[in-house]
A = this chain, B = another copy of it.
Amino acid sequence: MATRAIAPGYPQFFSRADGCRVWDADGNEYIDFMCAWGPNVLGYRHPNVEAAVMKQLREVDSGNGPTETLIELAETLTDTLDHADWCLFQKNGTDATTACVTIARAGTGRRKVIMAKGAYHGAVPWCSPSVVGVTAEDRAHLMTFEWGDVASLDTAVAEAGDDLAAIILTAFRHDVGRDQEMATTDFLKAARAHCDRTGAMLICDDVRAGFRLDVRGSWAAQAVKPDLAAYSKAIANGWPLAAIAGSDRAREGAEKIFSTGSFWYGAAAMAAGLATIRILRDTDALAHTVVMGERLRSGLDQVAARHGFRLRQTGPVQMPMVLVDGDQDLRIGNALCLAALRHGVYLHPKHNMFLCAAHGPAEIDRAIEGVDAAFTEIVAAGVEHA
């Protein structure tokens, strides 16, 4: 269950969120770097997003079918995402990744799906990080390779032979508890070339990074286009929405499959999505998170060095992973994050974190001071350098 992902000693319940701040059930205030585990990209309770939802709620949310907002949102997404010709909407990231795989199988008539070892693509039997309650058959056609290793990918593709339906990749390597790795252009191009040659579908699981790295899709700067991409989390700034954006190459499979959910056409979340995407597209909100992310990274490095620690800060600065060098068992990281909590800063010791557009220089500097105080505290308490 999700609570297991909450670091030891952390508050389990919350009472309020606003901008880049959260309050726990006891009323303690924190500068927040988890952003609801990804959904908050513009700031909690962003006025434009909430206003769009309120307007929609006066008309209809869940009805017998969608509203015109679905068309507007789909057109906005296909205009914005560089690979997309059509969209489907759901509620969970897992809905989107699962349907991407089903669409790839339906379109190709094949079965094998290749994913990176240890990558997270959702929480249902075919991809769950746990195999408890999962049967061997649930993963009969799932093959793995080493992230970023083209030779390893080549081997898996060769093994799949003429039964390869899809290669599914996260936008970058954002596995829990380890240094993050960006997707190199060579690696992405190799995956693209395999799919072009075999007729398989290239799926970008952009659930976590989507609409944070690049509003055009996370691989846009590398000019590598997936056939299918899965979005959720930040797509509607916290309102429950997921989407698949596909190219014409993937359309046939999408038209064939059965896929539905009771709330998938709810208009409130779509209105939130439309407002969110427009702001991300038309403002410098994402560029701002990069500037703030750099300020945080540099400040944390200085603070750590002053206390005699070295940090391993990896991943995009707006989705930072912060580990303490040599801290294999997370003893230092856990102590540091718990101390930071006491100083009003909500970090995560082993999961990538998130910045939002509401983080300003004052909040970043305040957070760095909190971490400084936390280092002082753990050193005083006898936590040794690694």
A135 near B140 with CB under 8 A, answer yes
Q: How far is the CA of A71 from the CA of B13 in the complex (A)?
A: 10
The chain B residue with its CB closest to the CB of A58 is B45
* Closest-CB distance, A69 to chain B (whole angstroms): 9
Name A66-109 residues within 8 Å CB distance of B.
Answer: 66-68, 70-71, 88, 91-95, 98, 101-107
Q: Which residues of B contact A88 (CB under 8 A)?
A: 1
CB closest chain-B residue, reference A113: B135
Across-interface contacts of A38 in B (CB, < 8 A): 262
Complex CA–CA separation, A141 to B136 (angstroms): 10
For the complex, is A381 an interface residue (Cβ under 8 Å from B)?
no
Q: Chain B residues near A265: list those with CB within 8 A.
A: 2
Nearest B residue to A11 by beta-carbon distance? B65
CA–CA, A77 to B123, complex, Å?
24
Main secondary structure of the interface of A (DSSP, over half): loop
Among candidates B4, B105, B107, B135, residue contacting A135 with C-beta atoms closer than 8 Å = B105
Contacts of A17 in B (CB 8 A): 59-61, 63
Closest B residue to A256 by beta carbon equals B132
A interface residues, how many (CB within 8 angstroms): 89
Which residue of the partner chain B has the closest CB to A269?
A: B240
Asked if A180 lies at the interface with its beta carbon under 8 angstroms from chain B, I say no
- For A262, give its contact among B232, B255, B346 (CB under 8 Å): B232
A92 in contact with B262 (CB, 8 Å) = yes
Is the beta-carbon distance between A258 and B129 smaller than 8 angstroms? yes
Q: Is A281 an interface residue (CB 8 A)?
A: no
Instruction: From A29-37, A212-220, A291-299, A326-334, give the one contacting chain B.
Output: A29-37
CB of A146 within 8 A of chain B? Answer: no
Task: Give A92 to B242 CA distance when docked, in angstroms.
Answer: 12
Please determine whether A125 and B102 come into contact, CB atoms closer than 8 angstroms: yes
Chain B: CB-nearest residue to A348: B64
Q: Decide: A260 and B123 in contact? CB cutoff 8 A.
A: yes
Q: Is A320 an interface residue (CB 8 A)?
A: no
In-complex Cβ contact of A133 among B15, B36, B123, B256 (8 A): B256
- The answer, yes or no, to whether A124 is at the interface (CB within 8 Å) is yes
Contact A14 B64 (CB under 8 A): yes
Interfacial chain B residues near A68, Cβ < 8 Å: 13, 15, 25
- CB <8 Å contact, A106 and B132: yes
Q: How far is the CA of A266 from the CA of B154 in the complex (A)?
A: 41
Contact: B103 with A133, CB < 8 Å?
yes
Contact A128 B13 (CB under 8 A): no
Are B62 and A94 touching (Cβ within 8 A)? no
Q: Are A262's CB and B233's CB within 8 A?
A: yes
Q: Once bound together, how far apart are the Cα atoms of A360 and B269, in whole Å?
A: 30
Distance A133 CA – B126 CA, assembled complex (angstroms)? 14
A95-B98 in contact (CB<8A): no
Contact between chains at B259 and A1 (CB < 8 Å): yes
- A257 interface residue per 8 A CB criterion: yes
Q: Nearest chain-B residue to A17 (Cβ)?
A: B60
Report the Cα distance A132→B126, complex, angstroms: 17
Task: Give Cα A71–Cα B66 distance, bound, in whole angstroms.
Answer: 32
- Chain A positions 1-57 with a Cβ under 8 Å from a chain B Cβ: 1-6, 11-17, 22, 25, 32, 34, 36-40, 44-45, 50, 57
A5 and B260 within 8 A (CB): yes
Residues from chain B with a CB closer than 8 A to the CB of A14 are 60, 63-67
Q: Let me know if A57 and B50 touch, CB within 8 A.
A: yes
Q: A37-B262, A106-B132 are in contact. List 8 more A-B contacts (CB 8 A).
A: A15-B60, A15-B67, A17-B59, A62-B240, A102-B133, A128-B257, A133-B257, A207-B262
User: Could you write out 9 A-B pairs with CB less than 8 Å apart?
Assistant: A14-B65, A16-B59, A17-B63, A44-B63, A45-B60, A133-B256, A137-B137, A137-B140, A240-B269
